[in-house]
Structure 1
C-alpha cells in the first residue's frame, strides 16, 4: 500500500506528501499544486547553480543556494539529481583556510562576501578621490601650445 493513500469515508484518496492535503487520485504527482510549484522552484534554483558549476557537491549547493542538504538528498533519492564521486576534495579557502569541498571556488562564501564588501568600499573611495568637481585648471606650458 502506498504511504500517501488513505480511506476517507470509505473512499480511497491520496494526500500530498508535503502538506497532507487531499489530492486527486489521478494526479501524476504526489504533491498538491501549491507544494509541487514550490518544489519545482527549489529544483530550478539547484538546476541553475549546476549549469554554472557542474559537478558541485551537495554541501556546496547548500552553501551557495541556501537549499537544505536534506532537500537535495530527496532529489537524489527521487532520481532527479545524480551523485557522482567527487575527485575534488579537500580544497581550502585561500583567505581563511576552511575546507571548501569544491573545485569551483577559491574562497568560502563568507570570505567571498567580505571580499565583495571590501571591493565595494574601495570602489567608493576611488570614486571619491577621482571626483573632478574640486579639480583646479592650469595652463600647460611647453609643447602643444598654439601661437
Structure 2
C-alpha cells in the first residue's frame, strides 16, 4: 500500500503528510509547500545549532533550540540527521548538578538564564554606583612631583 494516497471521487490523489491537503501527484516531497517550508525552517535551526556544537545530543538540541524531541527523532528516522550513540556523555551542571548530556555547555539552560540575569543585575548596580555621585576622593600615591616650599 502506498502512503499519502487516498481516493477522492474514484481518483487516486496524494495528500500532505502533515496537514492532509491535496498535493500534486508528481511532487518530490510528501508535504504541501507551506508545511515543507516550516519543516525546512526547523531543520535549518537544528543544522545551525549542530554547526556551532557538533555532536550535540537530541536532548541538548531540544533544550537549546526548543524543537521537540520527537521532531528531532523524525529527522533521524528520515535519515536527515545521524544519531551517534555515546555512553560516556554524562556531564553535570556546574551550578545545580543536573545531568547535561552534553560536553558543549558547563551549565544547564535554567542556570545559564539565571547567571545571565545575575550578570545583568551586577552590571546595572556597577553602572549606578559609577554614575550617581557616589565617587570618593583618594590620594594618588607614588606622585614624586611634589612642590617644596
Q: Please, what TM-score do these two structures have when normalized by structure 1?
A: 0.90
The equivalent of 1:74 in structure 2 is 74
User: Unaligned regions of 5+ residues in structure 1, if any?
Assistant: none
Q: 1 CA distance for matches of 2:47 and 2:145?
A: 60
Number of positions where the alignment pairs a residue of Structure 1 with one of Structure 2: 146
The equivalent of 2:99 in structure 1 is 99
Q: 2 CA distance for matches of 1:143 and 1:131?
A: 31
- Point out 4+ residue stretches in structure 1 off by more than 2 angstroms: 132-138, 142-146
The equivalent of 1:63 in structure 2 is 63
Q: 1 CA distance for matches of 2:11 and 2:52?
A: 47
Q: Which moved more, 1:94-103 or 1:125-134?
A: 125-134
User: Unaligned regions of 5+ residues in structure 2, if any?
Assistant: none
Alignment RMSD: 2.2
Q: 1 CA distance for matches of 2:90 and 2:59?
A: 13
Structure 1 pair 86/120, CA: closer, same or farther in 2 (3 Å)?
same
- How much does 1:131 deviate? 1.3
Q: Please, what TM-score do these two structures have when normalized by structure 2?
A: 0.89
- How much does 1:134 deviate? 6.4
